[in-house]
Amino acid sequence: MAISFELIERSGRARSGKLLTSHGAVPTPAFMPVGTRASVKGLHPPLLREAGATILLSNTFHLALRPGSERIRDLGGLHRFMGWDGPILTDSGGYQVFSLARLRDVSEEGVAFSSPVDGQKLFLSPERAMEIQEDLGVDIAMALDELIPADSPAEAAKAAASRTTRWAARCAGAKKRGETSLFGIIQGGFFEELRERSAMELAALDLPGYAAGGFSVGESKEDFRRMAAFTASLMPESKPRYLMGVGTPLDLVEAASWGYDLFDCVLPTRNGRNGQLFTWAGVLCIKNAAYAADQSPVERDCSCWGCRNVTRAYLHHLYRANDPTAVLLNSLHNLTFYLSLMGKIREAIANGTLDALKAQLSAGY
Q: Tell me, what amino acid is at 363?
A: A
Confidence of residue 249 (pLDDT cuts 50, 70, 90): very high
Q: What is the average per-residue pLDDT within 125-154?
A: 98
Q: Is 264 labeled as catalytic in the residue annotation?
A: yes
Domains of the chain: 4-265 (3.20.20.105), 267-365 (no CATH)
**pLDDT per position as a tens digit, 148-163:** 999 999 999 999 999 9
Task: Examine the pLDDT at 106 and tell me if it is beyond 90.
Answer: yes
Establish how many alpha carbons lie within 13 A of residue 26's alpha carbon, considering only the half-sphere containing its beta carbon. 30
Beta strands in 187-304 (DSSP E): 209-212, 241-243, 262-264, 276-279, 282-285
Q: What is the average per-residue pLDDT within 92-120?
A: 93
pLDDT attached to residue 85? 98
Task: Examine the pLDDT at 324 and tell me if it is beyond 90.
Answer: yes
- Per DSSP, 12 falls in state T
pLDDT attached to residue 84? 98
**pLDDT per position as a tens digit, 192-204:** 999 999 999 999 9
**pLDDT per position as a tens digit, 58-82:** 999 999 999 999 999 999 999 999 9
Note whether 245 and 215 are within 8 A (CB).
Answer: yes
pLDDT attached to residue 318? 98
Q: What is the average per-residue pLDDT within 326-339?
A: 98
Q: What is the mean pLDDT of the chain?
A: 97
Confidence of residue 117 (pLDDT cuts 50, 70, 90): confident
Task: Examine the pLDDT at 29 and tell me if it is beyond 90.
Answer: yes
Q: What is the average per-residue pLDDT within 164-184?
A: 98
Tell me which of 135, 145, 261, 264 is the catalytic residue: 264
Nearest CA to 245 among 207, 219, 206? 219
Q: Using CA atoms of 100, 102, 103, 108 in order, give the dihedral in degrees to the nearest 10.
A: 90
Q: What is the average per-residue pLDDT within 103-126?
A: 94
Tell me which of 91, 135, 145, 261 is the catalytic residue: 91
pLDDT attached to residue 1? 78
The answer to whether the peptide bond before residue 236 is cis (omega within 30 degrees of 0) is no
Backbone angles phi, psi at 270, to 5 degrees: -65, -45
Per cent of the chain over pLDDT 90 is 98
Confidence of residue 100 (pLDDT cuts 50, 70, 90): very high
Give 124's strand partners: 111
The sign one gets for the Cα dihedral 311, 313, 314, 315 is: positive
Q: Is 91 labeled as catalytic in the residue annotation?
A: yes
